[in-house]
Structure 1
């Protein structure tokens, strides 16, 4: 049976939200986790670069975390979407898709982001499998393989330096005129990194595993991995509607304690940082949970 009022409502019940809930649950805070069951890495087969969990399936990590968090009886988990939020005299109020209303003293948004897929046939089916975002999360598995980077300018140049350490068969797909200065072009050529201007239009794959990439002019490129720097949008617009400041990159602005610009509202995980990894999400959630508990303690003590 769910209560109507909690110390903290956490919107988003994946790695970051669950990590915060554990810190709060162990501090005897009443917590409600609202989660729509749609994690951004749902089709990623394995999670890496997370000590003790290297190579584990992401959903198994989340499942085990949820089981452990819900062993604290003061933590509730409801599969539902948060639709609206408003400030109240006592804190905050959240209305869900199932027309349920909950109130809390503090809010934590661990809602993640929504990647905007490029107009390349087959890309979405490969995203998180062989079309990837992070060399730390996925790069080792594609070491020495034929690899490309779908980006331009500073993003592409930065990624090229990281990926070149993993493979010497590397191309940059700029999808049009390259945006590099002379020094960058010189370094790319020195490291035998090809720059391809012709737009890519489709990916041939087998169950998300890349085979070839086809260009607008009909030519092909054999590939095993494609790094991509995708645009994104916030998964939830509630933080912005409540007045939370967004950064130039589109993330929720937070301080070192995961506090947003609105008193009483915190955020953690992918919605606040370019560091998109399970390990980072767990760490940020742990900090957020501890800081929320600290703030509640100061108010009550």
Structure 2
């Protein structure tokens, strides 16, 4: 099922239970008496609790049209999610050497033709990484000076003028957690900038919960849905009694 279809079903299900859907971008979250005030321009909402599901923004390589490359499968962002779709392809991973090789070795279970590209520019100089690459038959490449992606895959051009075609490329360049609404209230984050939560998805700010990629390194819909169920249950149990 495509992501857009899944979102549409979620919206329909929520509306069947009287939930009002508002398309807006919250740009400010404040602590006020009785809870929180969320603002989106001139609009504002008050709530006793807030659940953040603001996600991350992946850092992408310098490409003319990265979104189109993702849409056609030339550029992929999650090997755990979709490596099976790239099985037996020429697969490349672009990252700092150790990260690139670690992900490339994972992908070797899906293809015999896996490549690791140095995104840092320091080169493949670590003897341990060279041994691991040889043992797992991962092909090593320097940092590309140019990348182009089309519906047929991606092509890397290197400083010596050589070129290499890949059916698909996984850039592992990190991501930016969209945690600013929470950190503006003093919420704790870890070394990756992701929000620290407890077993009930509560941040360090009372009444503020966070779910999904903004708190988890496993960026999958199933994980986010599980987080949401835990957070919603905790919120419900924590609200004052509202007898029917």
TM score, norm. by length of structure 1: 0.74
Say whether residues 1:88 and 2:10 are aligned partners.
no
Q: 1:164 to 1:180 in 2, by over 3 A?
A: farther
Q: Secondary structure of the equivalent of 1:259?
A: coil
Say whether residues 1:261 and 2:204 are aligned partners.
yes
Say whether residues 1:144 and 2:62 are aligned partners.
no
Deviates more, 1:178-187 or 1:192-201: 178-187
Cα distance in structure 2, aligned partners of 1:292 and 1:154: 41
Q: CA deviation at 1:121?
A: 4.1
Deviation track 1:18-77 (CA, whole Å, cap 9, x = no partner) reads xxxxxxxxxxxxxxxxxxxxxxxxxxxxxxxxxxxxxx111001111111122112x221
Alignment RMSD: 2.1
Deviation track 1:237-293 (CA, whole Å, cap 9, x = no partner) reads 211111111211121111221111111100001111111111111111111111111
8 A Cα contact 2:92 2:170, kept in partner? yes
TM score, norm. by length of structure 2: 0.90
Structure 1 segment 1-301 matched on structure 2, within 5 A: 56-73=1-18, 75-97=19-41, 99-127=42-70, 129-175=73-119, 176-178=121-123, 181-206=126-151, 209-235=152-178, 237-296=180-239
Question: How many positions carry a matched residue from both structures?
Answer: 241
Cα distance in structure 1, aligned partners of 2:126 and 2:14: 50
8 A Cα contact 2:179 2:195, kept in partner? no
Cα distance in structure 2, aligned partners of 1:196 and 1:83: 42
8 A Cα contact 1:147 1:223, kept in partner? yes
Q: CA deviation at 1:90?
A: 0.5
Structure 2 unaligned runs (5+)? none
Q: CA deviation at 1:181?
A: 4.3
Cα distance in structure 2, aligned partners of 1:154 and 1:288: 35
Q: CA deviation at 1:211?
A: 4.4
Q: CA deviation at 1:199?
A: 2.2
Q: 1:180 to 1:87 in 2, by over 3 A?
A: farther
Cα distance in structure 2, aligned partners of 1:270 and 1:61: 17
Q: Secondary structure of the equivalent of 1:257?
A: coil
8 A Cα contact 2:98 2:129, kept in partner? no
Deviation track 1:170-206 (CA, whole Å, cap 9, x = no partner) reads 1100132246743332121111111111324121312
Q: CA deviation at 1:117?
A: 2.3
Runs of 4 or more off by more than 6 Å in structure 1? none
Q: 1:224 to 1:183 in 2, by over 3 A?
A: same
